[in-house]
Structure 1
Amino acid sequence: MPVARSTKAQSIKQPRAGKAPSVTENVPPEKEEGCQAKRSPSSPQGGPKKRSAFGDITNAHKNQAVTGKKEGVKAPTRKATRPPPALVVAKNNEINLKKSLRKTPPTDVPVEPEKDSVSEEPVQQVPVVEDIDKEQLGDPYASAEYAKEIFDYMREREEKFLLPDYMEKQPDISRDMRAILVDWMVEVQENFELNHETLYLAVKLVDHYLVEVVSMRDKLQLIGSTAVLIASKFEERCPPCVDDFLYICDDAYKREELIAMETSILRTLNFDINIPIPYRFLRRFAKCARASMETLTLARFLCEMTLQEYDYARERPSKLAASSLLLALTMKNLGGWTPTLEYYSGYCAQDLHPLVKRLNFLLTYQPCDKLKAVRTKYSHRVFFEVAKTTPMDMMKLEEKLKS
């Protein structure tokens, strides 16, 4: 009796196994793996097409297999030692697949999109951009989560602080006087051991103040020293006091004059002194390039050389920083402008080439030999003596930029 019951169970349950689940279970392993491989969405264009094509063929024959199996259940004499409908479905799938491959154009063939230049083109053209902030996500002082947004915001603020040609309305101040003032401000920054950001911001404050106010030459040093005082309060942890600035001016001005000039500058600029400067962008871009400290110092020297030159005062700070870094990388034979630099800077290499050539020309032919504060500063061993680096030949620079 137990043997007869098991036999009956097999004769009853075997036809039920011929439904849709048995079709998928009896597909040969190599074909199942092939279907999974072809359905993989590794190709951005080929994946969905191949998945829909195989799905239509398989589903159509699944329905036929299920229908035929139901009719087979009604026949009392049919026995199923093995599920033959599944083998029939697999065979029909293979036949119909060959027919469909012959009928469809080559672009619809599942294997062809992997070789098609159109499907591969987006993969090849997508640049590999490195996330330069992921290493500092755990540092609460780095603000790595907001670094990209911060610098995007500073790029937007550049539009507000673009300088016009203000020397036309300054009857008593010339470009040479401005260069002498900036050269003196560089010495002040060195003597007080101030941050480089303080120097850059102080020069920006002088320029933006002279855009709005006509000044005499005897007040120019007062404007410069007061600008350094304001920038020190904004950038430094322990800024110098007012008496220190009176001392470096050789007591040419009184305390009341310095405080009055501070009030005048802040009111003229509406107390909005968070002006974008090239130095901050330069540090950011050097991080993108994984530049060494020596390469970064060379780029700083190139960028700081432009502070004295009035023609560079109207350049965008981000573009000036990017061009200085690109010239430094070229001089060191460290490659060109990478996709990561292009992504974070917003400039492609062709946008920077004209300014890079101007910077190399400035490095080769310094306009005034008397103003040597920047060169003397970067000739020290602390700054790797980058000021002694031989400038590139203009023809060689042209060839490297084109390559």
Structure 2
Amino acid sequence: MPFPRGRKPTAAAGSKIPKLNATASENQEEATQAKRSSSPPRGAPKKRTAFIDITNAHKVQISFPGKKKEPGKKTAKKTSSTSVSASNRANLKKSSSVSSEGTISERERTDTEEEEKEGDTSADVAAPVEEQAAATSPAAREVPAHLRRQEIPKEFDIDSENSEDCYMCPEYAKDIFDYLKNREEKFVLCNYMPTQPSLNSEMRAILIDWLVEVQENFELYHETLYLAVKMTDHYLAKTPVHREMLQLVGSTAMLIASKFECVSASMDTLTLARYYCEMSLMEMDLVPERGSLVASACLLMALVTKDLGGWSPILQFHSGYQASDLAPVVRKIYSMLSAPPDDKLRAIKNKYSHKVFFEVASLPLVSIDILEKALSS
């Protein structure tokens, strides 16, 4: 029969109700909780059974199509909870106050003390902020002298006309040149040919003559050729190479070589300087010289040949070389160019005798007197 409401059922006399063991009930409850926690939420991806659930699948909120969120619902709930807590705090403060006139309750006194402490703390926090602001003032942020960028005088500023061209990087041009010039000190070469048992200078010249043809046929940058020769020399200075592998070394260097550029001059003058540079690649005596020094010497010779003046103060400022620094290298290049050419090695001559290169190879060599005058001025 049904039990009356509000009463607990009583066991009949003589009936035995099996009493569950406490441990068994706890184990059953733990198993139920474990089963409930291990079951993934609906719509969540299945997890691997060999591992615990380390994903955030149980926190994923599934949005069904067609069901829109109610705007402002969450904010209203948060605002209401905040207002309730604020009213509870106000009621607690009122209940703790004493009704006597002119008497301050213990609670109010405590609140006042806490506010004073907070004021002291904020003052302590504000002090380091003010100190930090003072430290970041323009006077404190002054860059040390050795880290300041060198200011370029207006008469030497040749990059400001490219200020709108982001590819030219005019604001970093001087820094780039100075950096590359400092890097040269780590890559100074020497005459490595005595350490090569099966090579000689003539074999190297034949290789470079062939690399010039490769550069011309594939229409590579001239700077790629210069760098390829420089990389070949650096490799030969470290590793003995058999003569049968020399062409492979040069081809590999040409493949991985990259491009470098610079100078404000007309194209025919630059082409003449490049002609001198490529001719200098053949000379073993110029291998130990720095690349920037050889390039500057070739440019000086091109300017004198074209009657465009000597080594101007602008070129001296940007290159870092004076005319006296270039004089020994200029004399070596001039001696090389004035020597009778080898008919077997004519790739450079033939290349720069073309109209594309303004036929600069056919230009007469400037006299040594004019060149010495330019070097001494």
**Same topology, TM > 0.5:** yes
Q: Does the alignment pair 1:320 with 2:294?
A: yes
Letter in 1 for 2:194: E
More helix per residue? 1
Partner of 2:125: none
Tell me whether 1:360 sits opposite 2:317 in the alignment. no
In structure 2, distance between residues paired with 1:398 and 1:227: 36
In the aligned structure 2, how far is the partner of 1:132 from the partner of 1:370? 42
Residue in 2 aligned with 1:269? none
Question: Residue 135 of structure 1: which of 161, 174, 180 is its match?
Answer: 161
For 2:183, give the aligned amino acid.
R
> Deviation of residue 167 (structure 1)?
0.7
Amino acid at match of 2:188: L
Matching of residue 309 in structure 1 with residue 335 in structure 2: no
1:200 aligned onto 2:174: no
Residue 363 of structure 1, CA deviation: 1.7
Q: Equivalent residue for 1:339?
A: 313
Number of aligned positions between the proteins: 226
Secondary structure of the residue aligned to 1:308 is: coil
The 3-state SS of whatever aligns with 2:230 is helix
Q: How far 1:371 moved relative to its partner?
A: 0.6
Q: In the alignment, what sits opposite 2:217?
A: 191
- What SS class does the counterpart of residue 198 from structure 1 fall into? helix
CA distance in 2, matches of 1:187, 1:144: 34
State whether structure 2 residue 235 is matched by structure 1 residue 209: yes
Give the match for residue 164 of structure 1. 190
1-structure distance, mates of 2:362, 2:185: 35
Deviations 1:48-80 (A, max 9, x none): xxxxxxxxxxxxxxxxxxxxxxxxxxxxxxxxx
What is the alpha-carbon distance in structure 2 between the residues aligned to residue 218 and residue 349 of structure 1?
42
1:400, distance to aligned residue in structure 2 (A): 4.1
Whole-Å separation in 1 of the counterparts to 2:154 and 2:375: 21
Within a 5 Å distance, the mapping from 1:3-402 to structure 2 comes to 129-231=155-257, 234-235=258-259, 280=260, 283-284=261-262, 286-287=263-264, 291-366=265-340, 368-402=342-376
Cα distance in 2 for partners of 1:158, 1:402 equals: 26
Alpha-carbon shift at residue 398 of structure 1 (Å): 2.4
The question of whether the paired residues in 2 share the 8 Å contact of 1:128 and 1:340 is answered with no
Q: Percent identity?
A: 55
Equivalent residue, structure 1, for 2:149? none
C-alpha deviation, 1:128, in angstroms = 7.0
Residue 309 (structure 1) shift: 1.3
Q: Distance in 1 between matches of 2:158 and 2:373?
A: 30
Q: Kindly indicate whether the alpha-carbon contact (under 8 Å) linking 2:190 and 2:287 is maintained by their aligned counterparts in 1.
A: no
Deviation at residue 317 of structure 1 after TM alignment: 0.9
Contact 1:172–1:216 (8 Å) recurs in 2: yes
Are the equivalent residues in 1 in contact too, given 2:191–2:284 (CA < 8 A)? no
One-letter code of the match for 1:306? S
2:329 is paired with a residue of what secondary structure? helix
TM superposition shift of 1:177: 0.2
Larger radius of gyration: 2
RMSD: 1.8
Query: Is the 1:378–1:385 contact (alpha carbons within 8 Å) kept by the matching residues of 2?
Result: yes
The answer to whether the Cα contact below 8 Å between 2:311 and 2:374 also exists between their aligned partners in 1 is no
For 1:129, what is the secondary structure of its paired residue?
A: helix
Query: What is the TM-score of this pair, normalised by structure 2?
Result: 0.57
CA distance in 2, matches of 1:128, 1:140: 21
Distance in 2 of aligned mates of 1:143 and 1:338: 23
1:341 and 1:331 map into 2 onto residues whose CA distance is 17
Contact kept in structure 1, 2:275 and 2:360, CA below 8 Å: yes
Unaligned 5+ runs, structure 1: 1-126, 236-279
Structure 1 CA distance for aligned equivalents of residues 223 and 316 of structure 2: 24
Shift of 1:308: 1.4
Are the aligned partners of 1:330 and 1:336 in contact in 2 as well (CA < 8 Å)? yes
CA change 1:394–1:203 in 2 (3 A) is: same
Deviation at 1:369, TM superposition (A): 2.7
